[in-house]
Structure 1
């Protein structure tokens, strides 16, 4: 059986803040197979982006990985020095961020920024060859007049074009894994569809794995093969996309799906999950979701943290009462 390209196990990450320490990731773990598309979904603050930042050494100075293991292509990323991680980022792992205007350098041209990544990871690449590759990449992601556009600055690009340039930069060295963190949040619906189509196409053409981090379940349904659901810094459910959408086995996943508008249904108000995600500084004992859960009913079992349990082939859930959801189907 093929080994995972990326494997994260029991990851714990915390941030130092005034007055103490905030746990942001609490034992999270998942894996990504070669060529696979995995969606990471959950409300803001669930730990989706912090998990990836922990793996890639991109935490701010206030953050630190307390424990856990992360392996990429067999290498323990947490054991690598910063210089070694820099070689992996941009070469083997390409990153597409939510806001390209903050990710791109405003005082460098688009071409210079893409070429910088090429020359850093391809020793001996000439300036002329790098320029030709930049134009090729910009054309590949659908930017017209790529040679002229390469000489322009980020502020001269529209939002959609900046995101295309970010994708070109991420794909420059033909990475084995692309991580896209909310890549379409700031874009209108039409441009969002174009960017998703572009990501799908470049992933297929480069035979890369893709991790799609988003709060948008529509994007998850359209783009992914397998879904990881996170809540309060933990993974609470993992399954293939069809099982997640039609046979969820965690009440949090079910609540997220019920809040989606559906074609053909007329509702005055969409059902929402009651309450708010817990303050990470004051996580409740036991199951973190129990105070918002319509399945718990104050049952004593919910006072104990549920372990991830295989409930079907390839389907795991962290709920004491997952069997009670088995008979339900979310259309």
Structure 2
């Protein structure tokens, strides 16, 4: 990508305090997001996707803390900002669509009041009447029927898809430069999921915002993103454009994820599965964290040393000592 990144995360390390010690949840994560682009972060549950974003935005629970790294956004290190200053960034310059709108929305406030709250907080001099009118417009823009009446209702009166639409309205209210969508289609049926993804595309086109999609759904990644970041055990293990990720993946974890997807044109009796379990973050294996589950490693000594991200092609990096063997695997497949 040309030009300066909008968001640049460098060497991010996040820990959570637990009884008897600490759990390293994010281990040296670095990536860039450029203006107007769509980036996907993918990985199994517990890989550190959401924690990475929550760390950068100062939204960790009290047990979590960032111990190293930077998160530069528009020339400012978000990790160095006071909470008061961060509140001016969140909701105005960065919009966040939370994973579960039912718990993210305040159950004792009307949906309209929650949309208007963000408008008035970040737009000085906006009157209550003007905020209420703009709220109705936003709800209409995200496809909520009868928005004037719906604005007076509470979150429990909305369906799951409508709550997610309301979250998107809140995220886009102040036309942010970056929208982060954390599992935006979780627990939605495929029809509503398609509508939400279409809505996110439209919102991005209208606002010109960059979009980060955090998900474990590779179908969403293929449909929505231009560039993909694959995480495992709190680290970035591969990053590439979406075509290279799906057709020329170099890390065995990425390839294993792709092989576990059902394919309409290829009938099998049983889908391949990744053996074993994700590692305990308190007791990560020596070297490559994926080593105990990796069919490429096979006990090789090099895998006892943690691999850095190797450049495997233009804009393509993979954290595997034997990334070149992926080409042989493709030929023999």
TM-score if structure 2 supplies the norm length?
A: 0.98
| Alignment partners' CA distance in 2, 1:258 and 1:82 | 43
Cross-structure match for 1:20:
21
- The question of 1:103 aligning with 2:104 is answered yes
Cross-structure match for 1:309:
310
| Alignment partners' CA distance in 2, 1:53 and 1:161 | 24
Structure 1 moving runs of 4+ over 2 Å: 326-331
| 2:25 partner SS | strand
| 2:23 partner SS | strand
Count of aligned residue pairs for this structure pair: 331
* 1:39-63 deviation per Cα after TM superposition (whole angstroms, max 9, x unaligned): 0000011000000000000000000
| 1:328 CA displacement | 4.2
Unaligned segments of structure 1, at least 5 residues: none
Unaligned segments of structure 2, at least 5 residues: none
Residue 22 of structure 1 contacts residue 280 of structure 1 at CA under 8 Å; is this kept in 2? yes
Residue 246 of structure 1 contacts residue 329 of structure 1 at CA under 8 Å; is this kept in 2? no
Summarize the alignment of residues 1-331 of structure 1 with structure 2, pairs less than 5 Å apart.
1-329=2-330
| 1:19 CA displacement | 1.4
| 1:309 CA displacement | 1.2
| Alignment partners' CA distance in 2, 1:322 and 1:9 | 23
Residue 225 of structure 1 contacts residue 241 of structure 1 at CA under 8 Å; is this kept in 2? yes
- Greater Cα shift, 145-154 or 217-226: 145-154
| 1:317 CA displacement | 0.5
| Alignment partners' CA distance in 1, 2:168 and 2:327 | 40
| Alignment partners' CA distance in 2, 1:114 and 1:173 | 10
| Alignment partners' CA distance in 2, 1:328 and 1:17 | 41
| Alignment partners' CA distance in 1, 2:133 and 2:70 | 40
| Alignment partners' CA distance in 2, 1:118 and 1:240 | 35
| 1:326 CA displacement | 2.5
TM-score if structure 1 supplies the norm length?
A: 0.99
| Alignment partners' CA distance in 2, 1:91 and 1:45 | 29
* 1:296-326 deviation per Cα after TM superposition (whole angstroms, max 9, x unaligned): 0111100000011111000001000001112
* 1:168-210 deviation per Cα after TM superposition (whole angstroms, max 9, x unaligned): 0000000000000001011111111110110111111110000
* 1:127-150 deviation per Cα after TM superposition (whole angstroms, max 9, x unaligned): 111011101100100011111111
